[in-house]
């Protein structure tokens, strides 16, 4: 698996969602680590690509899951995220599989 790179755009969007309005390198580094772990978790569980969390290929469902992951992570309650968002993770996994199957069918 390649290293997950957190873009400045994604970091900025995450800080906005979390109401982090101050500039602090230590906070940014910690948040980038949380974002990398969140992206890794969500991509592993759903099959989405890491590129869908920001930029032109953004997937709003995946990004929303990531931001909520960050909210729970910062509160020290990831166990609750896993419980509360299981349905959304499964739904995104199904959508990803269907989209991949349709793309494969269209290529054939």
Could you report the per-residue pLDDT of 3-34, keeping only the tens digit for each? 899 999 999 999 999 999 999 999 999 999 99
The answer, yes or no, to whether residue 2 has pLDDT greater than 60, is: no
Higher pLDDT, 40 or 1: 40
The answer, yes or no, to whether residue 46 has pLDDT greater than 50, is: yes
Higher pLDDT, 73 or 101: 73
104 vs 94: CA distance, rounded Å: 15
pTM, two decimal places: 0.91
pLDDT at residue 1 in the model: 45
Helix axes 60-74, 86-107, angle to 10 degrees: 150
Domains of the chain by residue range: 8-107
């Amino acid at each position: 698996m390649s290293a997950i790179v957190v873009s400045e755009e994604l970091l900025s969007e995450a800080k906005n969602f979390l109401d982090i309005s101050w500039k602090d390198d230590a906070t940014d580094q910690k948040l980038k680590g949380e974002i990398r772990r969140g992206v890794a978790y969500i991509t592993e569980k759903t099959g989405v690509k890491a590129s869908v969390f920001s930029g032109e290929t953004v997937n709003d469902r995946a990004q929303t899951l990531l931001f909520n992951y960050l909210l729970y992570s910062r509160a020290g309650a990831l166990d609750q995220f896993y419980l509360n968002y299981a349905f959304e993770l499964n739904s995104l996994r199904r959508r990803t599989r269907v989209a991949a199957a349709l793309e494969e069918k269209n290529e054939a």
